[in-house]
Amino acid sequence: MKISEKLNGKRVLIWGFGREGKATKQFLDSHADCDVEVLEGGLEEIDFDRYDFVVKSPGIRCEIENEKLTSQTELFLEEFRDQMVGITGTKGKSTTSSLLYTVLERCGKKAVLVGNIGLPCFNYYDEIEEDTAIVFEMSCHQLAHTKKSPHIAVMLNLYEDHLDYYGTMEAYFDAKLHIIRYQEPEDLCFLNQELPITEKIPGKCIRLDPKNLGNSFTMALSGQHNQYNAQIVFLIATKVYHLPEDQVREALREFRGLSHRLELIGTRNGVSYYDDSISTICESAIQAAESIPDVQTIIIGGMDRGINYEVLADYLLQHTDLTVICMYASGKRVYHMLSGRDNTFLCEDLKEAVETAKRETKPGHACVLSPAAASYDHFKNFEERGDCFRRYVL
């Protein structure tokens, strides 16, 4: 059903008026004949009896279920699910979504890239035709209250994250599972075989082992995790959209990656500096240390959201050749966990951390900012943190 057909003549409340809420308002004003109100307050201010639909923005925490609650993602799924590739996971979803979109476009397949990675999906509504592939990066918040799943679904991985929002790993994982929970028998999903999925999967399933793929693709992106991302993109491009394998491989080879994701920002005094500010969990920091050639120094730390840092501390205690520079609240936690370890430094902020890295990293080696923590206590977002890192380095 078209979104306009569902909402015409209805009373609609837009709950939250950030980027997605504003896009919803603009869309409804131009595509639907309905009464629209906007609320930036809390749940206690909503009288559900007054509205036919409440379109909730993804960043708003809501622990109740109500049949009138919907979202931009849900409405988009209801109209376009058959054309959609939904991609989620704790890490790698932006790279994989961008990679798939780039491959499809370069191989001649009309596609749009929407969702968590950039502009809200409603912004692309008028560009979508019957043969358009919709690559949708889906966050846990966008998925949490949906009752539809995309025709093609990808679950890359699952690590401890967003516990300040969901409280438990089970609740966080349950939100992610919405990407496959409502699939139909003719649908297809690509799943990391390490995911602890116990419920029946409605669609056809391809399970992949990210640790046993080999280096199948020649790429500018380094790291085994990017070989895994590329394998999924290759399968979707060649098996779902039937694009020529040689063209797909060439498009994969040409992809240069996204900003703030193991991005080489420059070399100073013989030291190469990499920006991996997107890193907010232990596993991504470990991946960074494993992926960058000749890495000597890693800068970690940021907002302390209470996640368990034992896996990262254990890794750093075993890799005594690494110089570890800790900063901010979570960095202090890790620093104390590494008590007695050589080549470990505690700094107040990112600027001091970079100064220490310049002093301690030897020419011919590399330094990476991979914080394993959120940025929000000192920066607007991870992009601003990465931009500051670049400025301090260069």
Write out pLDDT tens, residues 34-80.
999 999 999 999 999 999 999 999 888 888 889 999 999 999 999 99
Instruction: Among 125-139, 251-265, 323-337, name the one with the lowest average pLDDT.
Output: 251-265
Element (H, E) at 349: none
Q: Tokens 């992949």 identify what position?
A: 208
- Provide the number of structural domains found in the chain: 3
Paired with 143 in beta bridges are none
- Mean pLDDT value across the chain: 92
Cα dist from 308 to 212, 221, 279, 311, whole Å: 27, 28, 15, 8
With beta carbons less than 8 A apart as the criterion, state whether 146 and 74 touch: yes
Q: Do 241 and 271 lie in a common domain?
A: no
Is the pLDDT at 210 greater than 80? The verdict is yes
- Is the pLDDT at 167 greater than 80? The verdict is no
Residue 3 placed within a domain: no
State residue 222's pLDDT score: 82
242 and 292 both lie in a single domain: no
What pLDDT is attached to residue 127? 93
Give the end of a domain, one of 227, 254, 281. 254
Range in 203-217, 228-242, 307-321 the model is least confident about: 203-217
364 and 342, same structural domain? yes
Q: Are 261 and 353 in contact (CB under 8 A)?
A: no
The residue segments making up the domain with residue 355 are 263-393
Q: What is the mean pLDDT of residues 306-315?
A: 93
Please check the confidence at residue 173 and state whether its pLDDT lies above 90: no
Q: Do both 66 and 181 map to the same domain? A: no
Q: Is the dihedral of CA 381, 386, 392, 394 positive or negative?
A: negative
Q: Answer whether residue 83 is part of any domain.
A: yes
Q: What digits encode the pLDDT tens for the residues 276-287?
A: 998 998 988 998
pTM here is: 0.78
Of the pLDDT bands very low, low, confident and very high (cuts 50, 70, 90), residue 312 is very high
What is the percent of the chain with per-residue pLDDT over 70, rounded to a whole number? 97
- Predicted local confidence at residue 350, as pLDDT: 98
* Residue that is last in its domain, among 21, 51, 70: 70
Indicate if the pLDDT at residue 97 is higher than 90.
yes
CA pair distance 210, 165, nearest whole angstrom: 28
Sheet with 295-300, edge to edge strand ranges: 263-268, 271-275, 366-369, 295-300, 323-327, 344-347
Check pLDDT > 70 for residue 130. Answer: yes
CA distances from 189 to 159, 192, 236, 287 (A): 19, 10, 10, 25
What pLDDT was estimated at residue 166?
61
Instruction: Identify the pLDDT of residue 74.
Output: 96
State whether 93 and 203 are in the same domain. yes
As a whole number, mean pLDDT of residues 118-138 equals 92
pLDDT value of position 145: 84
| 339 & 366 share domain | yes
Q: From edge to edge, which strands make up the β-sheet containing 53-56?
A: 35-39, 11-15, 53-56, 69-70
Whether 117 has a pLDDT exceeding 90, the answer reads no
- Report the CATH number at residue 169: 3.40.1190.10
Under the banding of pLDDT at 50, 70 and 90, the label for residue 164 is low
Which residues touch 42 (CB under 8 Å, ≥6 apart)? none
Nearby residues of 46 by Cβ (< 8 Å), 6 or more positions away: 13, 15, 39, 54
Looking at residue 293, its pLDDT comes to: 85
Domain end point (choices 35, 50, 70): 70
Determine, yes or no, domain membership for 44.
yes
Per the CB < 8 A criterion, the answer to whether 61 and 46 are in contact is: no
Residue 10 vs residues 1, 5, 6, 213, 221: alpha-carbon distances, Å: 15, 10, 8, 51, 48
* Residue 324 predicted with pLDDT over 70: yes
Residues 120 and 220 in one domain: yes
Say how many C-beta atoms besides its own lie within 10 A of residue 108's C-beta.
10
Contact between 116 and 142 under an 8 Å Cβ cutoff? The reply is yes
Q: Is there a single domain that holds both residue 176 and residue 235?
A: yes
- The CATH number assigned to the domain holding 289 equals 3.90.190.20
pLDDT reading at 214 higher than 80: no
In a shared domain, residues 59 and 117: no
Same domain, 94 and 212: yes
Residue in 126, 133, 86 with CA at minimum distance from that of residue 111 = 133
Q: Is 90 exceeded by the pLDDT of residue 5?
A: yes
Q: What is the dihedral of CA 36, 40, 45, 47, to 10 degrees?
A: 20
Q: Please report, for residues 249, 276, 308, 322, the alpha-carbon distance to residue 312 in angstroms, rounded to integers and kept in the order given.
A: 34, 16, 9, 13
Quick check: 91 and 281 in contact, CB under 8 A?
yes
Give the separation between CA 63 and CA 47, rounded to whole angstroms: 16
Give domain status of residue 1, yes or no.
Answer: no
Residues 85 and 133 in one domain: yes
Residue spans of alpha helices (H) in the chain: 3-7, 19-31, 72-80, 93-106, 140-143, 163-166, 169-181, 224-235, 245-254, 282-291, 310-318, 328-337, 350-360, 382-393
At 269 the pLDDT is 96
Whether the per-residue pLDDT at 163 is higher than 70: the answer is no
Instruction: Tell whether the model's pLDDT for residue 295 goes beyond 90.
Output: yes
pLDDT over threshold 70, residue 353: yes
What is the rounded CA–CA span in Å between residue 116 and residue 114? 7
- The set of residues, in sequence order, having a beta carbon less than 8 Å from that of 148 and lying 6+ positions away, is 74, 77, 78, 81, 182
Average confidence (pLDDT) over 21-26: 94
111 and 57 housed in the same domain: no
Q: Indicate whether 148 pLDDT > 70.
A: yes
Average the pLDDT over 323-349 and give the result: 97
Span of 19-23, 77-81, 156-160 with lowest mean pLDDT: 156-160
Does residue 15 surpass a pLDDT of 80? yes
CA 170 to chain centroid, in Å, comes to 19
